[in-house]
Amino acid sequence: MEKLHLQPSELDALPYYEYEYTVEIYNDILKERKDAEEKNQDVSSDKYNIKGMQRDAMRNASNKAAKFKTPNIRIPKI
């Protein structure tokens, strides 16, 4: 087992109550790892929120395009 430093044969040789305790510890380790991964994923998804960035870019582009006025050019008639 990964962080418990037990070989599978050692795990099989454990009495039932020690086996249950060992499995409980291992489950706690897995839950902590899962929570840490979810937290890191949330932070990275907020940091690199591509859809949000694209939406903001489109809003800014449309606002700038709406403020742009076409110039009036008067050409003399010949």
Task: Tell me which residue has tokens 């990275």.
Answer: 44
pTM to 2 decimal places: 0.49
- Is residue 76 very low, low, confident or very high in pLDDT (cuts 50, 70, 90)? confident
Q: How many domains does the chain have?
A: 1
Asked if residue 33 is part of any domain, the answer here is yes
Which domain range does residue 47 map to?
8-65
Residue-level pLDDT at 56 = 79
pLDDT > 70? residue 1: no
Asked if residue 76 is part of any domain, the answer here is no
Asked if residue 75 is part of any domain, the answer here is no
Asked if residue 42 is part of any domain, the answer here is yes
pLDDT > 60? residue 6: yes
Asked if residue 1 is part of any domain, the answer here is no
What is the per-residue pLDDT across 14-27, written as a single tens digit (0 to 9) for each? 898 888 988 898 89
SS3 letters for 10-72? HHHHCCHHHHHHHHHHHHHHHHHHHHHHHHHHHHHHHHCCHHHHHHHHHHHHHHHHHHCCCCC
What is the per-residue pLDDT across 31-45, written as a single tens digit (0 to 9) for each? 999 999 988 877 776
Asked if residue 77 is part of any domain, the answer here is no
